Amino acid sequence: MAGYRILAVHAHPDDESSKGAATMARYVAEGHRVMVATMTGGEAGSILNPAMDRPGVLENITAIRREEMANAAKALGIEHRWMGFIDSGLPEGDPLPELAEGTFATLPVAEAAAPLVALVREFRPHIIITYDEHGGYPHPDHIQTHKVSMFAFDAAADPDYHDPAGADIGAPWEVSKMYYTHGFVPERLKAFHEGLLEAGLESPFAAWLQRFADNQREDVGARVTTKVRCGAYFPQRDDALRAHATQIDPHGFFFAVPLLVQQQLWDTEEFELARWRGREFPLPEDELYAGLPEAK
């Protein structure tokens, strides 16, 4: 059987490694084509790993993050494309400052989506993975990534769509399924929290769970339709995370739970079937390609 083609759309380099990475690595190993489209270069990112907070890093952050992304893609076995937009940064303060003009989140959606529409027509994915309407968390680039993904899902299939720059972007293509990735399901964090305490280990998740309760945030677990078993590929996910050395502390949050404990307590990644074409898909699912005709 020919493999399916899966396109994951992310805002910054490192997002692909913390959201659905083990699923992507598993699908590549099983013969499917997986591509990540990164909307921005991550130029506005801070240095979040103390070991990388040294002279010369921040000054060369764009080039360094490109190299990190290449190493992460190699760890997962995925294909990768840059969409070429400028990181908007995460505004802080009260009131929040205006985003810099020309950055990704400030652009009209149709303009920001144009390279992605072209990529969808070129790569012809059966499945797109992106963020929900909240962006996974309220970073302006994540919310814009949701918007451009939704736009591309429709525009790539529309025979009347024309590239704003007049480029020939090929024939229309209908994506069969679109998923939102849900990486921080409260039940998953709770399982890890309780598992660490039972093992006599310190848990970093109590504060996270309390924030969920205090903020009365929507339980995204209730939105999950699809759980992909991928625990055997957590090592590849972790290698990809470590590749983003400016962003990921190898002694930090992402590595707080021993690998074996993760595989025993929660060996899936969670997704929400958000849009689809051609037929209804029975839910829940255990694969992103569940219900699709054989790939050609």
> Would you state the pLDDT for residue 217?
63
Determine the distance from the C-alpha atom of residue 72 to the mean position of all C-alpha atoms in its chain, rounded to a whole number: 13
Instruction: Write down the domain spans for the chain.
Output: 5-185+219-276
> Would you state the pLDDT for residue 220?
86
CA distance 167 to 149: 20
Nearest to 40 by CA among 132, 122, 144, 137: 144
Global pTM value: 0.95
Task: Decide if 113 contacts 146 (C-beta within 8 A).
Answer: no
Q: pLDDT per residue over 147-169, tens digit each?
A: 999 999 999 999 999 999 999 99
What does the pLDDT average to over 171-196? 94
Q: pLDDT per residue over 112-133, tens digit each?
A: 999 999 999 999 999 999 999 9
Would you say residue 2 has pLDDT above 90?
no
217-229 residues labelled b (16+ CB within 10 A) or e (exposed): eeebeebbbbbbe
Count how many Cα atoms sit within 13 Å of the Cα of residue 78 in the half-sphere of its side chain.
32
Instruction: Answer yes or no: is 15 a known binding residue.
Output: yes
Tokens at residue 56, please?
């010369």
> Would you state the pLDDT for residue 1?
55
- 212 pLDDT tier (thresholds 50, 70, 90): confident
Instruction: Answer yes or no: is 182 a known binding residue.
Output: no
Alpha carbon distances (Å) from 18 to 22, 169, 243, 247: 9, 31, 12, 11
What does the pLDDT average to over 279-285? 95
CA distance 257 to 265: 10
> Would you state the pLDDT for residue 216?
58
Q: Which of 48-52, 56-60, 199-203, 267-271 has the lowest mean pLDDT?
A: 199-203
Virtual torsion, Cα 197, 199, 204, 206, nearest 10 deg: -20
Would you say residue 204 has pLDDT above 80?
yes
Instruction: Answer yes or no: is 134 a known binding residue.
Output: no
Would you say residue 253 has pLDDT above 90?
no
CATH number attached to the domain at 5-185+219-276: 3.40.50.10320
Average pLDDT, the chain: 95
> Would you state the pLDDT for residue 221?
86
Share of the chain above pLDDT 90, in %: 83
Would you say residue 262 has pLDDT above 90?
yes
Q: pLDDT per residue over 104-113, tens digit each?
A: 999 999 999 9
Q: pLDDT per residue over 66-108, tens digit each?
A: 999 999 999 999 999 999 999 999 988 888 899 999 999 999 9
Distance between terminal CA atoms of the chain?
8
